[in-house]
Structure 1
């Protein structure tokens, strides 16, 4: 058997397998239009049409799709005469798409075709879960989705991809791209919160709070401790601490997205701080007892006002970073990191990652600046707890954050990479 025949049988085998996969799901769902026998025939029909089109032209595939549409229409008309039958579009759309997948196997990438076929099967299988998710979405949640669409798919494409302003560092497209990244992470946490509900438990509550906003979570739980009958101080301190630990992971993810080539240098020291926080959080979780609490209602992270504010903060941090580096050198960036980290660690993280990515900042200085901002943010959140929360919760948070702060300073001073830098 030569290579051409082998490839032909491989295409036909993939086509048959994808048809069987989708057909199995439709048969299990008791579809009246097509099942485990019909779908393999549909995908094979698409593949054969593609093979014929190689010799006779693309009109063969076009006639095939027209024939498929006609068969679907006729089948539905016949079944309408035998009630009860409620015609839908899901199986019909799947049939037409699987025909196209069968034809694409001949002309396109087999991996892409397999991915599409598998996605179709998964989407069909998740019908109840997807419908249930849609039912749980309220007007506020739909508004969040639409606002994110505006932020990411309407505003971003029209912004100029050119640099402006002092030091030639303000690029509207790049600035807004960072806005999309931060809002996207927050929106992911927000919808995870909607899926798991308010009774998400202490551990998950802290994780979701860290994804959405660790500062907002700190404020919310600190305030709740003013009423001792509402939230225990140990529980509140634990959620605040978990959210702050997750924010370290969030920083690592942001660096990996913006400057993937730097992650091997930046991630280890930050991961060491996260490991310390993980150990401390585990000890606190073990001693917290059986206290449980509902996670407070989360705000919409995709509000246009919030996005504009972050964009302005990020642009200001970029200017401040360029100014500090120009007049004070790399040491001046630590001052910017401390000030910026007090309110928004994301902005200085993304700005520093960008500088490292374009080669304007040494990697060993970059991770230290980011870690400094993260530690500054912990100090700021501890201050918030002191102002807004009870004395008991402030004592617990101050103790835990104090240990992390000491560990962070040791990492800044003793991390092995610093010795390598000294040797160079």
Structure 2
């Protein structure tokens, strides 16, 4: 009996907390329908209806929802009768959903109810930034969103979740899942760019560039610095910052596909990231300026780009398996260096998955990923040398040279 009383009290406490959180947000928004007092009543009403309904009849929950709907309709009618021209429905739908969340705490999952309540609070609070994002979006950006829906919600579910091909390494569903994952990361950076646009400063420009594509960012800034040599200090900082974010991407990818081996793989790669961040800080202190505008970013959800990455990832999976089988560690290292020249994601995902499944030792996995990162540094420096100004070349050359020296030291001295 005491356990039941404690559980009921816990449910009511969580319900009250969620109602208070949402009510506080609506009160700040000056909602005329419900505020800081009404929303807790709504959530508690849903929870109590569900608690009583569990003991009597589940129809009581439906009756409670009808009562909430009737109250909302009456409140809106009174508001319109008094001459209000506010015809928004956000608060009304939030009130009805909150009643359902209050009931879900009892009849469903407490954790899910907390997640839904938290998402509701975020959506209500982020009204202005979300409206700014939509305002900043054009036809090109809507196409990016729709293509991501095509990639993630239409193509992915119909792919077979079975292995095919040599070495049984090609699983269409898992390969495309990695495509969705990588495109999602890049698309998040693209959305941030659309929100901030040309107002993005130097530091934010490097972060967004690393999220979308550090290689593309390097090309963009190399061209800009070639046209305007005075931008070289800032350009070098942005290029290095984008490279740091690409290493952060690597760590996120490992955490997602190989969580059990993440601590072992992340330690040396995290040290490499820390060293590169120190180099980026050094470049920033030498530039001591901001206000750099972001170059135009391309749609990262293009179907052609997604198919290309999927094909590249499949080839890297096969190459890693074949190299390991025929040439051992040396073959895998060669594949890593070649793959890392233009794209670190494919080799990172493939080797991390193999390490997570016990297919290769963790030492071999992080060696391969670090070699790919170092190869990517070399490729980006070659891009700067071809496209950039002389001052940008030597600044990036010094920073990337020190980064490569740090990576080489890790490969030689790190014990495991």
- Does TM, scored on the shorter chain, surpass 0.5? yes
- For 1:281 and 1:17, how far apart are their aligned partners in 2? 43
Contact 1:235 1:292 in 2 (8 A): no
Superposition CA RMSD, Å: 1.9
State the match for 2:379 in structure 1.
380
Q: How far does the alpha carbon of each residue in 1:320-367 deviate from its partner, in whole angstroms, 9 at most, with x for none?
A: 111111111122101111111112121111111111111110111111
Mapping of residues 5-20 of structure 1, within 5 Å: 5-20=5-20
Mapping of residues 280-319 of structure 1, within 5 Å: 280-290=279-289, 292-319=291-318
Q: How far does the alpha carbon of each residue in 1:220-274 deviate from its partner, in whole angstroms, 9 at most, with x for none?
A: 1111122136x52222222112211221221111111111111111112112222
Ranges of 4+ aligned residues in structure 1 off by more than 6 Å:
none
**Which is further off, 186-195 or 113-122?**
113-122
State the match for 1:421 in structure 2.
none
State the match for 1:105 in structure 2.
105
- For 1:318 and 1:22, how far apart are their aligned partners in 2? 47
State the match for 2:217 in structure 1.
217
**Which is further off, 40-49 or 182-191?**
40-49
State the match for 2:143 in structure 1.
143
TM-superposed CA distance for 1:150, in Å, is: 1.2
Provide TM-score, normalisation by structure 1. 0.92
Mapping of residues 13-412 of structure 1, within 5 Å: 13-228=13-228, 232-290=231-289, 292-412=291-411
Number of residues of Structure 1 aligned to a counterpart in Structure 2:
416
Change (3 A) 1:210 1:128: closer
Structure 1: which 5+ runs fail to align?
418-424
**Which is further off, 363-372 or 32-41?**
32-41
Change (3 A) 1:225 1:162: same
Provide TM-score, normalisation by structure 2. 0.94
Q: How far does the alpha carbon of each residue in 1:189-243 deviate from its partner, in whole angstroms, 9 at most, with x for none?
A: 11122222223222221121111101101111111122136x5222222211221
- For 2:290 and 2:135, how far apart are their aligned partners in 1? 31
Contact 1:232 1:291 in 2 (8 A): no
- The 3-state SS of whatever aligns with 1:398 is helix
- For 2:146 and 2:198, how far apart are their aligned partners in 1? 23
**Which is further off, 159-168 or 21-30?**
21-30
Structure 2: which 5+ runs fail to align?
none
Change (3 A) 1:191 1:57: same
Change (3 A) 1:79 1:294: closer
